[in-house]
Amino acid sequence: MEFKEVIGLRRSIRWFKPWQPVEREKIQVMLEAANRSSRSMNADYCKAVVVNRDDLDQETRDALRNPTTTVDLDLAPTYIFWFTDMDYEVGTQDRLKELVQHKVLPPSHGWSEAYVDEVVWGQVIEPMSKVFAIKQWMGSIESGICICNALNAAVDEGLGACLHAMGNPAVVKEVLKVPDSWFPAWLMLVGYPLEDREAGGQRPRRPLDTNFFEGTCETPFVPDPEVTERLRREGMIQEAGPFPWRADEVRMLSRMFGLPE
């Protein structure tokens, strides 16, 4: 699938074929996409644990339920638990030096191994890494970038996915044997969509100039209609939901599982 179409077609999927497992190969593609995502200092902040729904006992699955994550847990065959390792700076000094050796961080831009030790590490990163709020801020963004790549890879592989609040982190920690330094990020539910992959149409979003600006925050970034039109042709901007038959789709799906309509 073309890149723009992947972006355009991604939806938070909440109806999965509960009977169809996800091939391990496709999960590997998602994890590889996450592993290829950009990351500061080439550090490994983001961690994930892949679990088959049916390998979790009922008690654990029930513990994951929360106000925003309910029947989704019964429908999705694969759960990916995403975390941020708050001890990510371990070994990071060496990773920066590796980037210097590979000429990714070149001398022309001031980089050398001594510069990493004395300036970048000594004066910037080490002091920052002592402040929990800064670590949390950095790590959350890094994990978000990884998770985003994995979401888009899922779409490209013909899968559906949705992020969810990770209910009951204490149970998750115990069952998955999560190290103390891993901070819960999100639970990603993955499977083959049972709802149409367009899931009733593209979600309502505010126009570009509501959120993005040019020059200063007082000048909205006004989109060029020709570019907007090109993005429609290339699939990034798709027909907005709800499709006329969306209510029927949801009603029929609910009926299929005996859920409230």
Ligand X SMILES: Cc1cc2nc3c(=O)[nH]c(=O)nc-3n(C[C@H](O)[C@H](O)[C@H](O)COP(=O)(O)O)c2cc1C
Task: Tell me which residues touch ligand X (CB under 6 A).
Answer: 11-12, 68-69, 162-165, 186, 203
DSSP three-state, residue 217:
strand
- Give the nearer residue to ligand X in terms of CB position, either 105 or 163: 163
- Quote the least distance from Cβ 115 to ligand X, whole Å: 36
- The beta-strand segments (E) located in 86-197 are 160-164, 182-191
Q: Of the two residues 77 and 193, which places its CB atom closer to ligand X in the complex?
A: 193
Nearest to 146 by CA among 32, 62, 12, 15: 32
* Residue with smaller CB distance to ligand X, 56 or 165: 165
| Of residues 60, 82, 62, 78, the one with CA closest to residue 70 | 62
SS3 257: coil
Kindly tell me which of 150 and 163 has the beta carbon lying closer to ligand X: 163
Q: How far is the CB of 152 from ligand X (least distance, A)?
A: 12
Q: CA-CA distances (angstroms) from residue 50 to 56, 84, 104, 179?
A: 11, 15, 32, 15
Comparing CB distances to ligand X, the nearer of 35 and 70 is: 70
- The closest alpha carbon to 211, from 202, 203, 220, belongs to 220
User: Facing residues of 182 across strands?
Assistant: 85
